Structure 1
Amino acid sequence: MTDAPRVTIAIDAGIADVRLNRPAKMNALDPAMFAALIDAIDRIGGDRSVRAVVLSGEGPAFCAGLDMASMASAGAGVDLPVRTHGLANNFQQIAWGWRTLGVPVIAAVHGIAFGGGLQVMSGADITIIHPTTRLSVMEIKWGIVPDMAGFALWRGRVRDDALRELAYTAREFTGTEAVDLGFALRTSDDPHAEAMTLARAIAERNPQAVRAIKRLANEAVEADAADILMEESVEQAALLRSPNQMEAAMANMQKRAAVFTD
């Protein structure tokens, strides 16, 4: 009997519904989960039909963080400074990879998002969260630092002094507080359903323009004004009078649904 896949992907109408699938362990991160998440990012990145991603967890939690027992031996001897995926190492890629994916990613979060799970959530462009979700920047509990791209992902999003307090103490906070601090966009009693509705709205737009907007949004976090202004111009020049841009304009004028090509 084979184990169930650690991550499932269902693609329909341009939306990839991606679910962490280890519910009996609250989707805790073991070596198989790391490999499955990296594979999911690679698979979606190579599929031009995907226009948006919804990332969630099966069962009672989004992700409880590291499965410490299974990771203790797996992490032995790993050279963390070695980059395996561009800017990131394997551990960082499961969160950072969602940020660098070409299409918008919406995290639908419920139950628990601790430690590495919180960082995976933070890789999404947008997070919709159940108000009673329990979250924690938990690494200090184990005497370590967040090292799955958390600080790079939280920069410009999460209030600095609040982030320091949470990282220094591992204090738990709720989904409601996560919205107030910038970890999430809004709360919902059904985060997955709301995330799918948002994904469908995104998938109806010019996919080339949506991808360009994500590149600009990522660039804006760290680039200076001159570089951002130039990137805006470069992206716009590539879009103007392209087939999908013309289709968007015609559909608006004719008051009909647009039909875009990927």
Structure 2
Amino acid sequence: MKRLALQFSHEDTVAHVVLNRPDKHNGVDWLMLKEMRQVQKKLQGMKRLRAVIIRGEGSSFCAGLDFKSVLSDPQTAAVMYAHLWMPFRNIFQTWSTGWRQLAVPVIAQIHGNCFGAGIQLALGADIRVCHSDAKLSILEAKWGLVPDMGGAALLHELVPVDVAKELTMTGRILPAADAGQLGLVSHVCDNPESKTDALLQEILQRSPDSVAASKFMIQRIWGLDESVNLTQERRWQRRLLGFKNQRVSVMRNSKAENKDIAFARRQIH
């Protein structure tokens, strides 16, 4: 039987999208990326849809990109790299920004690890409800990279520029309470399911036209030029991926004895 990287269901007017690689802490592989885009397009055609809930199966929301899976298949890795050269938002960026195109509220229900691709997915939601035991990180610096799945383009709406730089430069892992204080998540609680249900009950009492108009209006007022920001993500990732210091970053994370491998001196412009 074909493995599904996502579970998709809907009951009446509410759709549920569940990341379904629990044995990998819902690490993102090529199949999950493709299925996520398919689900987003399907949701756009559902006329009775009023809300979407995104969550992860198992012990984590999403622990980030599954590098081992991606790098084990050179052909897939080459296809994924080619997306960085596309002159428009690619499949990595629609992973998060695709949710902003839906005319309904999207709620990310976060628990466990929410790293890298996981936090970028959550940033694409309209509301983030986070379990008090969750941990969050813009983790790409660990691998010598920058966030390029829509996260950098969306981050400026939530935190000041110095906070965005610090979190991106350090890859620091934040407890849920700290993420809440910084504004990365909307709510921190011990029962995200109950909080999500309460939010939905409030929103579903309102006109769907008003809710959709509010979402799109506020996105455009708060946001800068999203397409320009996404272009910058692709541009800077291309200047890092595969170069010596990025390879050193991977090596430093692979084995304890590699921790002291030195980075090279290189100018990035």
Task: Tell me the residue number matched to 2:246.
Answer: none
The residue identity in structure 2 corresponding to 1:19 is: V
Hey, what's the Cα distance between the residues in 2 that align with 1:23 and 1:196?
Answer: 23
Question: Number of aligned pairs?
Answer: 220
Asked if 1 retains the 8 angstrom alpha-carbon contact of 2:53 and 2:107, the reply is yes
Asked if 2 retains the 8 angstrom alpha-carbon contact of 1:92 and 1:148, the reply is yes
The residue identity in structure 2 corresponding to 1:184 is: V
Hey, what's the Cα distance between the residues in 1 that align with 2:2 and 2:149?
Answer: 29
Task: Tell me the residue number matched to 1:40.
Answer: 39
1:160–1:68 Cα change, 3 Å: same
SS at match of 1:80: helix
Question: What RMSD, in angstroms, separates the aligned Cα atoms of the two structures?
Answer: 1.6
Task: Tell me the residue number matched to 2:164.
Answer: 163
Hey, what's the Cα distance between the residues in 2 that align with 1:115 and 1:90?
Answer: 16
The residue identity in structure 1 corresponding to 2:86 is: V
Task: Tell me the residue number matched to 2:94.
Answer: 93
What runs of 5+ residues in structure 2 fail to find an aligned partner? 226-269
Hey, what's the Cα distance between the residues in 2 that align with 1:181 and 1:131?
Answer: 14
The residue identity in structure 2 corresponding to 1:110 is: H
* 1:69 Cα deviation after fit: 1.3
Task: Tell me the residue number matched to 2:117.
Answer: 116
Hey, what's the Cα distance between the residues in 1 that align with 2:163 and 2:131?
Answer: 20
The residue identity in structure 1 corresponding to 2:90 is: N
* 1:223 Cα deviation after fit: 6.2
Hey, what's the Cα distance between the residues in 2 that align with 1:204 and 1:12?
Answer: 17
* 1:128 Cα deviation after fit: 0.7
Task: Tell me the residue number matched to 1:195.
Answer: 196
Task: Tell me the residue number matched to 2:2.
Answer: 2
* 1:137 Cα deviation after fit: 0.9
Hey, what's the Cα distance between the residues in 2 that align with 1:30 and 1:193?
Answer: 30
Asked if 2 retains the 8 angstrom alpha-carbon contact of 1:128 and 1:186, the reply is yes
What runs of 5+ residues in structure 1 fail to find an aligned partner? 225-262
Asked if 1 retains the 8 angstrom alpha-carbon contact of 2:83 and 2:90, the reply is no
The residue identity in structure 1 corresponding to 2:139 is: M
Hey, what's the Cα distance between the residues in 2 that align with 1:196 and 1:6?
Answer: 25
Task: Tell me the residue number matched to 2:182.
Answer: 181
Hey, what's the Cα distance between the residues in 1 that align with 2:22 and 2:176?
Answer: 20
Calculate the TM-score normalised by the size of structure 2. Answer: 0.78
Deviations 1:173-225 (A, max 9, x none): 0111111111111111121232133123212321111111111011112369x
Asked if 2 retains the 8 angstrom alpha-carbon contact of 1:6 and 1:32, the reply is yes
Hey, what's the Cα distance between the residues in 2 that align with 1:11 and 1:197?
Answer: 18
Task: Tell me the residue number matched to 2:262.
Answer: none
1:223–1:146 Cα change, 3 Å: closer
1:68–1:23 Cα change, 3 Å: same
Task: Tell me the residue number matched to 1:215.
Answer: 216
The residue identity in structure 2 corresponding to 1:183 is: L
Q: Percent identity?
A: 37
Hey, what's the Cα distance between the residues in 2 that align with 1:36 and 1:195?
Answer: 24
Task: Tell me the residue number matched to 1:140.
Answer: 141
SS at match of 1:75: helix
Calculate the TM-score normalised by the size of structure 1. Answer: 0.80
